[in-house]
Structure 1
Amino acid sequence: MLVLAVLTALGGLVAFLAGGYGLHRTRRLEESVQSVDALVKPPQPGADRPRMQFGTADGQVVEIASPVRRTRRRPLRDGSELRIAYDADDPREIVLLSRDRVRVDQAFMVAGAALVVLGAVLVVRAV
């Protein structure tokens, strides 16, 4: 029982930290980088993610794989444009400017915190 309690708490801690890291990364990119519209292009053969093409502030054209798959609730359509933020130092580092990612990261943090509390309660009861 004690091992299960400790594993529950550790799993919750990992989920909490993953959500916190995701929130930090998203907020850092949204606040300190350039934002542009990116063109959605078809994926390369054998790939499951569409390509995104955009121009940087210094005139460079960048084409990279999308950070999300087409199987989202709102599918990415070829030829459509999405608002993204990119890191001026490394334009391959992008974030879609939507609230979906923030909600996922927040959910990871809430679930992780709940698992840490559950694990702590189980540890106290097992000892």
Structure 2
Amino acid sequence: MWPLSSLALTVALSVALTAALPPPRPATPALHPIIANGSSVAVPYMGEAFLFCSVAEPTRQVQWRDPSNVPLPAWSPTASRYHLGSGKHLPHAYLLFRDFRQEHEGVYTCVARGGAGQEGRASVTLTLARPSVPRP
């Protein structure tokens, strides 16, 4: 058995060391983008598509990326696919297609970035809608 003075010293050192440690840092919360259109959208040939991604958490940037993970360009008069609203500090971004064609098919990703290196992603698969053939 330990002498009483040794036990008191051990407890005192343990309490002093615990009090000197900094409090644990909270885990960085992840961002959770939500694509309002769901996870899969079929678009008619030469049709238009309008996808919306929003983030409830504070963000620095929300951005759409193409199937090659390249950021989509902003609007221009000649672009057949582009993004809107992905400026800094906006909690949402739009992805628009006009004249949708087979080469536009693929998985598009909404990427949200926050402070301290936070990042969240959500994806949607865009496919060309196959025309239905009426049955006789």
Q: Please give the TM-score of this superposition, normalised by the length of structure 1.
A: 0.19
Which has a greater percent of helix? 1
Which has a greater percent of strand? 2
Q: Please give the TM-score of this superposition, normalised by the length of structure 2.
A: 0.19
Between Structure 1 and Structure 2, whose CA radius of gyration is higher?
2
